[in-house]
Amino acid sequence: MTSHSEQVDIQVGEDIIAGTMVSPQRKVPGILFVHGWGGSQQRDLARAKGIAGLGCVCLTFDLRGHELTRERQPSVTREQNLADIVAAYDRLAAHPATDPKAIAVIGTSYGGYLASILTTRRPVRWLALRVPALYLDEDWDVPKHELNRQRLVEYRNTFLQPAGNRALSACSEFAGDVLLVESEHDDFVPHTTLMSYRSAFVRAHSMTHRMVDGADHALTEDSAQRAYTSLLTGWIGEMVMGARIGNYPHHLAAYS
């Protein structure tokens, strides 16, 4: 971790002697976890505790329409859940130990879709998307619970250009580091959707695309959970190490 040096005066009786105080960097990366539709922060919490051990401030939370507010799920819209994520981001960024120039957002499925859009609202240094879903722009204000599933299946199986989708458009402007994680046997988010996301990141500082072999959308098997945790922790560790040696790309200057 980068150290900070400060010249100090030390009072000794009537005399003053010079010293240099060397302390560790006070700010550390912040990691925001965004769960998928129908999920909760519980699975993210275990990973957050492990990643916090790398020297990060982590925040998990429950989107509206889930857990304590589950009764509101039939009426929750994407706009409302995006507002949840913005509020959670701001809470993380305001933590005294968080470096606002080093925030990662990790989103799963629906959470990955909204996390992509978040990058147009707030500065994000690293973006990790596991099986990110796609939705049509035209029904943005329709409650998520009421979206036509068959239409979504057809939409996600079509290779899409960034200009026609809000999330993909956000990805095309994102200049940080990206991790895309795909499940080999995903019945909800097909390979075509992952390729739409991957091709959209034309300005990314780096792109890492990994497949979890034998995994379904929800990572039902414990072995799939472990594989994803290993991938995510390894990637975050690499990114954090770069941050600690001051390896920030120029695109973050606007947020300094």
Position 251 scores a pLDDT of 44
Per-residue pLDDT of the chain (256 residues; tens, 9 = 90+): 555 567 877 776 787 657 666 655 578 899 999 999 999 898 898 999 999 988 899 999 999 999 889 999 999 999 999 999 999 999 999 888 889 999 999 999 999 999 999 999 999 999 999 999 999 999 999 999 999 999 999 999 999 999 999 999 999 999 999 999 999 999 999 999 999 999 999 999 999 999 999 999 999 999 999 999 999 999 999 998 776 665 444 444 333 2
d(CA 133, CA 113): 6
Length of the chain: 256
CATH number for domain 26-246, candidates 3.40.1710.10, 3.40.50.1820, 3.40.50.720, 3.20.20.70:
3.40.50.1820
Position 25 scores a pLDDT of 59
Q: Is there a contact between 32 and 63 (Cβ–Cβ < 8 Å)?
A: no
Position 28 scores a pLDDT of 87
Q: Does the model's pTM come out above 0.85?
A: yes
Position 43 scores a pLDDT of 84
The backbone torsions φ and ψ at residue 15, rounded to the nearest 5 degrees and listed phi first, read: -105, 160
Phi-psi region of 109 (alpha: psi -120 to 50; beta: other; left: phi over 0): left
